[in-house]
Structure 1
Amino acid sequence: MDRPGLADFLRRRRELLRPTDVGVAEGPRRRTPGLRREEVAMLAGVSTDHYTRLEQSRGSAPSESVVAALARALRCTVDERDHLFHLAGLSPPPRRAARHVSPGLLGVAGRLVDVPVAICSDISEVVWTNTLFSALMGDVGTRPGRASNITWRWFTEPGVRDRAPEEERDRLAAAHVSDLRATYSRRAGDSDVTELVDDLLQRSREFRVLWERHEVAVRRSDHKTFVHPEVGAVELRCEVLLTPEADIKLLAYFPLEGTDAARKLDVLRVIGTQTFATA
C-alpha cells in the first residue's frame, strides 16, 4: 500500500470536484476547494474519520469495497479506479462496467432528483441509489455482499416481498429469474453469475422451479407497485437504461399516469428515510 500516494490522489480528486458535480448543495461560505472530506465520505458510505485518516496517510488499509465506493464517489474513470486500487495495495477488479460506474452515467443519475433511481449490475447488485430510492426501498446499496443483490434478497429474505402487493409477487419472481437467465446465457462461465445461480438453486425451491422453465427475457421496462409503510401503495413505471455492454443498468421509476404516485413521491422526498411510530 502506497499511503502517501493514496492520500495525495484522494485529495487531488476531491479538490477537482464541485458540489454540483455530485448533486451536493454548495451552501454559503464554502472555503474548501472542491468537496469537503465529509461529503466524500457520505457519498462513499464510509465514516468521515476513516476517510480523513486515508487522506492523512494513516489508519487501517481500506477494503476492496471501500476503494470501489471511493472511486464512484470521486467520479473516477476506469483507469483512475485501477490506479486507486494499486495505490491501496489491491488488485483492480475485472474491467467490466458492472464493476465500475462511469462518471457520465452517475452524472445522468444525479440529475434525476425527482424520481427514484438505482444503478445495478446485470446480476442485480445495487451499486448506487439516489435519496428518493432509499426513502422508498431502504438503503439497499449500502449493504455488504449479497445483501445488496435484489434477486438474492427476493428469494432468500421473505420480508423483502412485503413491499410488493401479494397479487404481483409471482410475476415479479418470474421476471427476476428470466432476467438472470438472460445474463447467465450471455456471460456463461463467469464466476460471479454461476456462483449466484448455484447458491440460489441451493437456497430456494421457488427459484429452482422457475429456473427449470428456461424462460429468458431482459427487462427493459416494467410496471411496479411499492407498498411503503408511511405513504401506502405507490404505482410506478420502471424504465431501464442499459449500457452498451449490457452489464450495468440504470433504473428510473416514474409515477404511473392516472395515479397519486407523484404526490406520494413528493411526500417521501420530504420525510426521506425517517420512520414514524404510531401514537
Structure 2
Amino acid sequence: MNHSELAAFLKSRRDRVRPADAGLPAGPRRRVPGLRREEVAQLAGLSADYYTELERGRGAQPSAQVLAALARALRLSGDERDHLFHLAERPVPTAHSTAAHAQPALLGLLDRLTTTPAQIINDLHETLAQNPLALALLGPPPATRGPEASFVHRWFT
C-alpha cells in the first residue's frame, strides 16, 4: 500500500467538500475551505487520531468498512470510491457487499430532508444511510449482514 498516495487523495477530497455540503455549520473561523480532519472523522465514525494518521501517510491499512465510511463522508463518486480502494490495496466492493456505496447526490438529498425521516437502502433493503429523524424512528441499522440486516425483515419481525 502506498501510504503517501492514499494520504494525498484523502486530503484532496477533504479540501473539496464544504461544511454545508455535509450538513455542518460553516462557523466564523475556518482556516481551511473544506472539511476539517475532525469533521471527516466524525462523519465517517472514526477517531480523529486514526483519520489524521491516515491522512499523514502513517498507520495501518484501513479495512473495507473504514474505506466505505470515508467514501460516504467525503461524498466520493463511484469511480473515486473504487480508486480509494485501489490505493488502499483492497478489493473493490461489489454492489451487494458490506461496503455498499450511496451516491453523493443521494447523500446530499438525504441531508436536505430535515423534516421527514428518510433512509437510503440498497436492492437487498440493507440501510446504507439515514437522516437523524429516521434514526430516531427506526433505530440504528443492525451491525450484522445477510437477511437479518434487511429493512423488510426488521420491519416484519
Structure 1 contact 6–55 (Cα < 8 Å) conserved: yes
- In 1, Cα distance between the equivalents of 2:31 and 2:13? 17
Partner of 1:31: 31
What is the match of residue 124 of structure 1? 125
Query: Structure 2 CA distance, aligned partners of 1:130 and 1:151?
Result: 15
Cα gap change, 1:49 to 1:152, in 2 (>3 Å) = farther
For the 8 Å contact 1:45–1:69, the answer to whether it is kept is yes
| One-letter amino acid of the structure 2 residue matched with residue 4 of structure 1 | S
Structure 2 SS opposite 1:61: coil
Matching residue's letter, 1:144: A
Alpha-carbon distance in 2 for matches of 1:95, 1:5: 26
- Give structure 2 stretches of 5+ with no counterpart: none
Q: Aligned partner of 2:128: which letter?
A: V
Q: Cα gap change, 1:50/1:145 in structure 2, threshold over 3 Å: closer, same or farther?
A: farther
The structural deviation recorded for 1:138 is 2.9
1:205-216 pair list within 5 angstroms: none
The structure-2 alpha-carbon separation of the partners of 1:54 and 1:117, relative to structure 1 and needing over 3 Å to count, comes to same
Match of residue 45 from structure 1: 45
CA distance in 1, matches of 2:144, 2:10: 25
Name the CA distance, whole Å, in 2 between partners of 1:25 and 1:153. 36
Task: Provide runs of 4+ in structure 1 moved above 3 Å.
Answer: 150-153
Indicate the structure with greater strand content: 1
Task: Give how far 1:8 is off.
Answer: 0.5
- Give the TM-score, by structure 2 length: 0.87
- Mapped to 2, the partners of 1:104 and 1:40 lie a distance apart of 18
Provide Cα deviations, 1:95-116, integer angstroms capped at 9, x if missing partner. 57x9221111111111101211
Give CA deviations for 1:252-271 in whole Å, capped at 9, x if unaligned. xxxxxxxxxxxxxxxxxxxx
Contact kept? 2:121, 2:128, Cα under 8 Å:
yes
Q: Distance in 1 between matches of 2:41 and 2:119?
A: 19
1:266 aligns with none
Match of 1:112 in 2: 113
Going from structure 1 to structure 2, the CA distance change for 1:63 and 1:144 (only over 3 Å counts) comes to farther
Question: Structure 1 residues 41 and 116, CA, compared in 2 at 3 Å: closer, same or farther?
Answer: same
Q: Is the 8 A contact 2:143 2:149 kept in 1?
A: no
Alpha-carbon deviation of 1:153?
Answer: 6.5
User: 1:138, 1:48 → 2: CA distance?
Assistant: 25
Q: Summarize deviations over 1:217-274 as a string: whole Å, max 9, x none.
A: xxxxxxxxxxxxxxxxxxxxxxxxxxxxxxxxxxxxxxxxxxxxxxxxxxxxxxxxxx
CA contact (8 A) 2:19 2:25 kept: yes
Question: What runs of 5+ residues in structure 1 fail to find an aligned partner?
Answer: 155-171, 177-279
What letter corresponds to residue 20 of structure 1 in structure 2? A
Equivalent residues of 1:76, 1:102 under 8 A apart: yes
Residue matched to 1:205: none
Kindly indicate whether residue 144 of structure 2 is the aligned counterpart of residue 145 of structure 1.
Answer: yes
Amino acid at match of 1:67: L
Which structure is higher in RCO with an 8 Å CA cutoff and minimum separation 6?
2
Deviation for aligned residue 1:128: 0.8
Question: d(CA) in 1 for partners of 2:137 and 2:38?
Answer: 25
Change in Cα spacing, 1:56 to 1:44, as seen in structure 2 (3 Å) is: same
Greater gyration radius: 1
Normalised by the size of structure 1, how large is the TM-score?
Answer: 0.51
Q: Distance in 2 between matches of 1:149 and 1:69?
A: 18
Q: Which amino acid aligns with 2:33?
A: P
* Root-mean-square deviation over aligned CA pairs: 2.4
